[in-house]
Amino acid sequence: MIKQAKEKSMNYKILFLDIDGTILKPDHTYTPSTKEAIKQVQQQGLLVFLCTGRPLHEVNDLAHELGVDAYIGYNGSYAVYQDTPLVNEPMKRNTLEEFLSIASKHQHELVCYTTKKNYFTSLSSPATKDFIEVFQLKQNEKLTDDSLDHILGASIMNVSPEQVQWYEAIEEDIHLSGVNVNGVSNCYDIIRDSVNKGETVKKVLDHLQLYKEQAIAFGDGMNDKEMLQTVGEGFIMENGDPQLFPYAKHQTTSVDNSGIFNGLKKLGLVK
Express each pLDDT in 231-250 by its tens digit. Answer: 999 999 999 999 999 999 99
Tens-level pLDDT at each residue, the chain (271 residues): 333 334 443 599 999 999 999 999 999 999 999 999 999 999 999 999 999 999 999 999 999 999 999 999 999 999 999 999 999 999 999 999 999 999 999 999 999 999 999 999 999 999 999 999 999 999 999 999 999 999 999 999 999 999 999 999 998 899 999 998 888 889 999 999 999 999 999 999 999 999 999 999 999 999 999 999 999 999 999 999 999 999 999 999 999 999 999 999 999 999 9
User: In sequence order, which residues have a C-beta less than 8 Å from that of residue 78 and are 6 or more positions away?
Assistant: 56, 71, 72, 85, 87, 88, 89, 115, 152
**In the chain, domain spans:** 2-88+195-266, 93-192
Q: For residues 127 and 22, give the distance between their C-alpha atoms in angstroms, rounded to a whole number.
A: 23
Q: What is the pLDDT of residue 1?
A: 31
β-partners of residue 162 are none
pLDDT recorded at residue 3? 35
Decide: 266 and 250 in contact? Cβ < 8 Å.
yes
Q: Same CATH fold, 93-192 and 2-88+195-266? A: no
Rounded to a whole number of angstroms, the distance between the first and last alpha carbons of the chain is 30
Q: For position 183, what pLDDT does the model report? A: 85
What pLDDT, on a 0 to 100 scale, did the predictor assign at position 49?
98
Query: Which of 208, 227, 207 minimizes the C-alpha distance to 217?
Result: 227
Give pLDDT, residue 29: 95
Phi, psi of 268 (to 5 degrees): 80, 20
The predicted pLDDT at position 2 comes to 31
Q: Give the integer Cα–Cα distance in Å for 59 and 222.
A: 20
For position 172, what pLDDT does the model report?
A: 87
User: Hey, what amino acid is at 25?
Assistant: K
The angle formed by the CA atoms of residues 145, 183 and 259, to the nearest 5 degrees, is 110
Give residue-wise pLDDT tens across range 29-88: 999 999 999 999 999 999 999 999 999 999 999 999 999 999 999 999 999 999 999 999
pLDDT of residue 190: 95
The pLDDT of residue 10 is: 58
Strand order in the sheet with 233-236: 84-88, 78-81, 71-73, 47-51, 14-17, 215-219, 233-236, 250-251
Per-residue pLDDT at 5 = 37
CATH code assigned to 2-88+195-266: 3.40.50.1000
Residue 139 main-chain phi, psi, to 5 deg:
-95, 70
The DSSP result for the chain, as a single string, is: -HHHHHHHHT---EEEE--BTTTB-TTS---HHHHHHHHHHHHTT-EEEEE-SS-GGGSHHHHHHHT---EEEGGGTEEEETTEEEEE-PPPHHHHHHHHHHHHHTT-EEEEE-SS-EEES-SSSHHHHHHHHHHT--SEEE--GGGGGG--EEEEES--GGGHHHHHTT-TTEEEEE---TT--SEEEEEETTBSHHHHHHHHHHHHT--GGGEEEEE-SGGGHHHHHHSSEEEE-TTS-GGGGGG-SEE---GGGTHHHHHHHHTTS--
CATH placement of domain 93-192: 3.30.1240.10
- How far CA 199 is from CA of 18, 92, 134, 194, in Å, comes to 15, 18, 28, 7
For position 9, what pLDDT does the model report?
39
